[in-house]
Structure 1
């Protein structure tokens, strides 16, 4: 087919041309542009940033190594401990986020680093499996701990936890606050004391024991063995496990409780290589908070907390670098959350009164 030339004129954004009737059947319209100097076309450039991800002994991070990613992209890193290990600390650009299962760099606009360390110990078992959720409120994340009510705005993370404080803490979480079958009365638990009802209820249900037939010693610091024994009484029994602590004798009254709590991933012992549990040492308020959160499968959304530090409740004696900082934030701030998959990790969606 021979191309036919036609004359046309411009009409705004259209062209107008005329052909003789029956003499034109268009398939393609082409036109010749006037000669113009060549103008190079420069494609838009894409900026790339590097993220370096590393993991220590006991687990992995994926992707690992140093990789480049386009500006504006979201990049997620997944952290997986090996069997017999758990996440110790996740550090992003030099800032500690403690325990996380994953971390996402959103709308990438700079280079970053992320590193993770692991420690020996099992990841906590779901409270539905251990039986804890039959006793304690593990789903509604209420504030079950508080700072000292003396106007000091302190929490006392390194202060020993008293037996009365333990009773009050677990009573705050108790689903059924009714009295049990045991008839228990302690001479040193006066009527009107803030801990009187918690002690009576938990003792009547076999969770708390006295230090004697008629004494409870509410203001005495509780030992690590005593605390673990109380915690394990909320479970469905001591699972099979190995006693890995050099200072827990096989014939000790607390041996099965310690082995059970270790198997459940609630306790890890001292992380100084000594393989000690310290059964007769007192447990601090910070340590007790960490163990209780593991029991309940509560894990602070550290990224959310750091972005909203002006909103979350914090304490003047608990700096951000303290080992229990995020656990105390979890325990003292009522919040809404979504569970991350089938894990213990949380995506916080907001605070509650």
Structure 2
């Protein structure tokens, strides 16, 4: 399609209040000039954006004119309004443009970036950033449709081919077809209507902006229909409601966490009888989280809440210090049921670096015999090394026989030796990831973190400080306002308890003497 002269803006700048088109390129972006990687641009190191009008007529052979370009594009959007999720398309306004990245010193030299660019489309005449919120805006991208054509019929065929291959997922990946009609994600900013253009979709292809005044009185005034998806987590992780275009298929990939429970999936109904993996937004929807109470593994003692952390000789518990592999083996040894400990009890291990007279020798040997702990190398346990998050998750998961066969639940565990164990422990709610979605499997774990995780495995969960008792053992380095206060008190005090109404949390009912473990540590 033929383009008229347009405005240009430097790639490193946005628009001035939405009056001119702009583009922002990430630092380190590399450019190809006219398809040649080694050609230099005439102008500045940063290219510019050419914001071109798509002409509404085209001169055919013999001088006759036929309506093409803008009219064809808009008609394709209108004709496919249902598939695009666009209501009352004939009641909307349209604007068709090309976005061409060009050499700032020569507008005839086209440039291609090696990564996504942020494009700012100026607000239509009469609309400002302050008033834009009163309008529904949609941007449609005819990917692969360029300007090298010779006849009106060829253009129409290309438009039809693009419209036959629609992706109505906002901001979704472009189709692998050469020509497609893509719905772009838009954000209203003070610089204009923002959209992110992927390098694979960027080039000499047109965009159509469509807008209409929002309906404020209950009638149909041409706006795009959006519906709200609400997540009812039933006591688990809380999620904000989300808005989606009509007919969007939403993948339900959120994995909420609830203390003492295992997430069983999302359901379409409150009674939890219809499990679903995705949902089509044909109206406002609510999905419901299903849960199963996480039981204590058979070989661990979840009934008797005795102290499994004793503190150190200096009278402190050192919650923020790292915890060693030998210490963790000892903790789980203490937490075995009497039957499991008696069945596997041994003082002989295959590890050359675990001395027979070491205080932890029996614990390490017994846990190795159970298949719960492993060495870091053949015959090497590395007892004094800080344990990692991945190693700790593996120990906890080995107490549970249920395999994990889903996708990785964290972004940084693919290919890691402990990935399956980490996923397995996460499903049970025993371990959690970092705020950025990672797990950091090779990072060492603190004593407070270890106590928190052990308490989750055993279901030892006081809810507030009011659930504890006066006269309990306290620690100078475990202040009541510390995030780990309850976990440390639970781990270092032997006590009787009762379950609260939620059947997950506990209230202490009496204090008991601390267990004497020295018989296993001579």
TM-score class, shorter: 0.5 to 0.7
SS in 1 for 2:510: strand
What residue number does 1:238 align with?
Answer: 403
Q: Contact (CA 8 Å) 1:145, 1:169: kept in 2 or not?
A: yes
Q: 1:253 to 1:86 in 2, by over 3 A?
A: same
What residue number does 1:156 align with?
Answer: 318
Which stretch shows the higher mean deviation, 255-264 or 130-139?
130-139
Q: Give per-residue Cα distances to partners, 1:24-71, cap 9 Å, x unaligned.
A: xxxxxxxxxxxxxxxxxxxxxxxxxxxxxxxxxxxxxxxxxxxxxxxx
1:260 deviation in Å? 1.1
What residue number does 1:228 align with?
Answer: 393
Q: Which runs of 4+ in 1 moved over 6 A?
A: none
1:315 deviation in Å? 1.2
What residue number does 2:449 align with?
Answer: 287
Instruction: Confirm whether residue 82 of structure 1 aligns to residue 233 of structure 2.
Output: yes
What residue number does 1:254 align with?
Answer: 418
Unaligned segments of structure 2, at least 5 residues: 1-231, 239-254, 263-291, 514-522
Q: Contact (CA 8 Å) 1:145, 1:332: kept in 2 or not?
A: yes
What residue number does 2:440 align with?
Answer: 278
1:153 deviation in Å? 1.6
Q: 1:84 to 1:243 in 2, by over 3 A?
A: farther
1:211 deviation in Å? 1.4
1:301 deviation in Å? 5.1
Unaligned segments of structure 1, at least 5 residues: 1-80, 88-118
Instruction: Confirm whether residue 198 of structure 1 aligns to residue 363 of structure 2.
Output: yes
SS in 1 for 2:301: coil
SS in 1 for 2:496: strand
What residue number does 1:66 align with?
Answer: none
State the Cα RMSD in Å: 2.6
What residue number does 1:328 align with?
Answer: 488
What residue number does 2:179 align with?
Answer: none
| TM-score between the two structures when normalised by the length of structure 2 | 0.42
| TM-score between the two structures when normalised by the length of structure 1 | 0.61
1:236 deviation in Å? 2.2
SS in 1 for 2:480: coil
| Aligned positions of 1:116-195 closer than 5 A | 121-125=257-261, 132-148=296-312, 150=313, 152-175=314-337, 176-178=340-342, 180=344, 184-195=349-360
Q: 1:267 to 1:171 in 2, by over 3 A?
A: same
Which stretch shows the higher mean deviation, 178-187 or 219-228?
178-187
Q: How many residues align?
A: 234
CA distance, structure 2, for counterparts of residue 212 and residue 130 of structure 1: 33
What residue number does 1:209 align with?
Answer: 374
| Aligned positions of 1:29-48 closer than 5 A | none
1:144 deviation in Å? 1.3
Q: 1:154 to 1:133 in 2, by over 3 A?
A: same
CA distance, structure 2, for counterparts of residue 131 and residue 155 of structure 1: 28
SS in 1 for 2:261: coil
**Counterpart pick for 1:337 among 483, 489, 497:** 497
Structure with the bigger RCO (C-alpha within 8 Å, sep 6+) is 1
Q: Contact (CA 8 Å) 2:345, 2:366: kept in 1 or not?
A: no
Q: 1:84 to 1:303 in 2, by over 3 A?
A: closer
